[in-house]
Structure 1
């Protein structure tokens, strides 16, 4: 994920750092934590050649914890808009901004 994002995308870095710390491999996540893309209704090209849009996503019910000894936090099924901006870099699209907006 980090190689597909711009170093300028601070939200991308926060998200990647969280995933590195809290993940299923180290016991930090359990359950249906995957994001499922339901729809990508529209993309648009803005000034400077950037492309933007959003994906409607659903995240299942799961528990997470920041460390093996931390108390688990339960998350219910939720729907979000994953808003994003892409920039062309060396012939490929890279994430330059993103946010998760509850629906």
Structure 2
């Protein structure tokens, strides 16, 4: 996923693979400029949020981020807020190894969500597998696309700082530098709100 020794992910629909968003439409007129007031991620008391500039916590957070009320529903604004919240969940998982909140916000068939969580369950900051500025920060969510399947695709621009990772206590550390990525994603509706259908992190 990143250079954190993670498994490679597949390219997503409307961004390369027709499987996820079949019969993709052109961008909605309000794509990237959501159809309600611009959302803002509600800060978690447990850790910095993806929209913030703070570094990863020096100690593992004690609780997962809370889903913002503005991410509920199936609007474009809700989708953007959900993506920012989902990145908060990824950061929480990387910090603690607690993967259940990510899985709860993902479809059960999201294979690459499982690849991510399987990795950070074994390699995370709490057990010494990650150190440094591994926090993922959302800079913008510039494009969202609705598909005829009812799914929604797009990407977020994110940055990740300099950090080291190692797959086991005896493994040689791997150093990663500050980089910018596109987090490509497809969302699907579930019980009236968005969940992660598939995702990929692509270096820029």
The aligned residue for residue 94 of structure 1 is 195
Residue of 1, 6, 15 corresponding to 2:116: 15
Question: Residue 25 of structure 1: SS of its match in structure 2?
Answer: coil
Deviations 1:6-31 (A, max 9, x none): 12211111011111111000000000
Within 1, Cα distance between the matches of 2:127 and 2:180? 26
When normalised by structure 2's length, the TM-score is 0.49
The aligned residue for residue 71 of structure 1 is 172
What's the CA shift for 1:68?
A: 1.1
Residue of 116, 141, 153 corresponding to 1:40: 141
Gaps of 5+ in 1: none
When normalised by structure 1's length, the TM-score is 0.96
Larger Rg: 2
The aligned residue for residue 28 of structure 1 is 129
Q: Which has the higher strand share?
A: 1
Residue of 61, 64, 72 corresponding to 2:162: 61
Question: Residue 126 of structure 2: SS of its match in structure 1?
Answer: helix
Number of residue equivalences = 103
**RMSD across aligned positions (CA):** 0.8
Residue of 85, 95, 99 corresponding to 2:186: 85
Gaps of 5+ in 2: 1-101
